[in-house]
Amino acid sequence: MIRIYNTLTQQKEEFRPIEPGKVRIYVCGMTVYDYCHLGHARVLVAFDVVTRYLRHRGFEVNYVRNITDIDDKILRRAEENGEPYNELTGRMIQAMHEDEARLGVLSPNEEPRATAYIDEIIAMIHKLIHGGHAYAADNGDVYFAVDSFDGYGKLSKKKLDDLLAGARVDVQEAKRSPADFALWKAAKAGEVSWPSPWGDGRPGWHIECSAMSTSCLGDTFDIHGGGPDLLFPHHENEIAQSECATGHTFVNTWMHAGAIRVNKEKMSKSLGNFFTIREIMETYPAEVVRYFLVSSHYRSQVDYSEENLAEAGRTLTRLYHALRGIVPAKAADVPETEHDRRFAEAMDDDFNTAGAIAVLHAVANEINQHRRDGSEEEAKRSAAVLVRLGSVLGLLQQNPEAFFQGGAGGELSADNIEALIQARADARKAKDFAEADRIRDQLAEKGVILDDSREGTSWRRA
């Protein structure tokens, strides 16, 4: 039995999909006006693990993650750059796909873009107006009337009266109430727009996700996810407009990833502690970054620091050390073990990846013990278990040598390193131990660690 913490009810609940054996999940994706940052990585990796595990448990998963490719921020950035908005979004979408591929994030089943769903957005707005839940203002905008939906605030636990207290309407807006939000925005002169019954314009941000999710997954689906900053107002507004338009419950289970902090402070450009995914991966291997993110429960707050990344690298290295120099048995030849059961027990408890990773380290210890005992076949069987369980978390799928030798950066090429190792071996053979030590120190200064064993010398990047 899988239990998931539902933000809507604020408790863990037994997960029962609408259609037995099948899961429909929608996650709010990126607004593509800039490179993805560490907070985006948290959401990408968290829901990648969720979908991987659901599939591991035998569910057929239809995972939809949207792209917001029209938005105020996009138009402002395109104007600043002096480029068409769709050229900007095209570059950023390509960069996002590159980042997620390096992080081992699998592609969603569908990746709808807002600009491809304008007709569906207009149709939903029309339903809302017809049902008395929205209104066209004199300035060409269309607004959702928040007071027309009795359940407003049920996700965020905010009360409408509290939201209205002290709220003001911008003088340029034509809202009836300060809490109302835009479904359609009238186009400004020279701005990209689409024709609609209310005049040329473009969709508001909230309505985009409602139209895309229901078009792809139906009026009601199993799981809706996103980052912590989306709970209010974005997801609250999605519920209101979707349920008013369809007359059905929008989503059964709401999931939200935890926030990212940098050295115990909120990540912010103004504080100078804002990091993009690609900036981080210039220093740390992508799998180390993924391990860092996976090692904490998806709902917990994660503190990014150089020390925490370095520790993630060290602990992931220990797992790869257990696999180094061993060919795992064929997975089909290794039935489920007690480790598999404990792994599932952790993941069934609201995708407790921290507990699941503890199981990986227990398997690694078992491999090391088998090798010390000379039980190579047992070590190979345990290695197969480690690789199998690691795959559910998107970890340990590299050849160990590729992991150790393919770290981020590095002044010396693999050929240079191998040549120096050979020179060191020649010096040791000639009993010139001072030269051998000098070469080892030279490599260490360049971030290359040597491991001597009876089989020879292997190396890894620090």
Same domain, 305 and 213: no
Report the binding-site residues for ATP: 269
Pairing of strands 181-186, 142-144: antiparallel
Would you state the torsion angle of the CA atoms of residues 307, 308, 309, 314, taken in this order, to the nearest 10 degrees?
90
Nearest-angstrom CA–CA distance, 89 and 291 = 29
CATH number at residue 33: 3.40.50.620
Answer yes or no: do 334 and 348 share one domain. yes
Question: pLDDT tens digits for the chain (462 residues)?
Answer: 999 999 999 999 999 999 999 999 999 999 999 999 999 999 999 999 999 999 999 999 999 999 999 999 999 999 999 999 999 999 999 999 999 999 999 999 999 999 999 999 999 999 999 999 999 999 999 999 999 999 999 999 999 888 887 666 665 568 999 999 999 999 988 889 999 999 999 999 999 999 999 999 999 999 999 999 999 999 999 999 999 999 999 999 999 999 999 887 877 666 777 889 999 998 899 999 999 999 999 999 999 999 999 999 999 999 999 999 999 999 889 999 999 999 999 999 999 999 999 999 999 999 999 999 999 999 999 999 999 999 999 999 999 988 988 765 456 666 777 788 888 988 888 888 888 888 888 887 777 888 787 667 877 776
Show which of 237, 257, 277 is a domain's final residue.
Answer: 257
Residues placed in the known binding site for Zn(2+): 28, 209, 234, 238
Can you tell me which residue has the tokens 């290695």?
383
Name the domain boundary from 404, 434, 451. Answer: 404
For 119, phi then psi, to 5°, come to -60, -45
pLDDT at 410: 58
Type of residue numbered 365: N
339 contacts 322 by C-beta, under 8 angstroms: no
Let me know whether 223 and 125 are in one domain.
yes
Domain total in the chain = 3
Final residue belonging to a domain, choices 211, 227, 257: 257
Q: Residue 385 belongs to a domain with what CATH number? A: 1.20.120.640
Phi, psi of 276 (to 5 degrees): -85, 160
Predicted pLDDT at 413: 66
Domain range holding 426? 409-461
CA–CA distance, 163 with 152 (Å, rounded to integer): 11
Annotated binding residues, as ranges?
28, 209, 234, 238, 269
Question: Which of left, alpha, beta for 351 (phi over 0: left; psi -120 to 50: alpha)?
Answer: left
Asked if residue 327 and residue 179 are part of one domain, the reply reads: no
Are residues 64 and 203 located together in one domain of the fold?
A: yes
User: Does residue 203 sit in the same domain as residue 318?
Assistant: no
What pLDDT, on the 0 to 100 scale, is given for residue 407? 61
* Residue 34 and residue 89 in contact, taking contact as beta carbons nearer than 8 Å: no
Does one domain contain both 157 and 281?
no
Structure tokens at 229: 């900053």
Q: Could you tell me if 319 and 368 lie in one domain?
A: yes
Residues in the chain: 462
Q: Are residues 227 and 178 in the same domain?
A: yes
Cα–Cα distances in Å, from 343 out to 241, 292, 330, 339? 39, 18, 20, 6
3 state SS of 376: helix
Q: In this predicted structure, what is the pLDDT of residue 169?
A: 60
Tell which residue, 413, 411, 409, 367, has the closest CA to residue 386.
367
Asked if 229 and 305 sit in the same domain, the reply is no
SS (H, E, C) 22-89: EEEEEECCCECCCCCEHHHHHHHHHHHHHHHHHHHCCCEEEEEECEECCCHHHHHHHHHHCCCHHHHH
The bridge status of strand 11-14 relative to strand 3-6 is antiparallel
Q: Are residues 251 and 267 in the same domain?
A: no
How far apart CA 153 and CA 159 sit, in angstroms, is 6
pLDDT at position 145: 97
Specify whether 77 is located in the same domain as 110.
yes
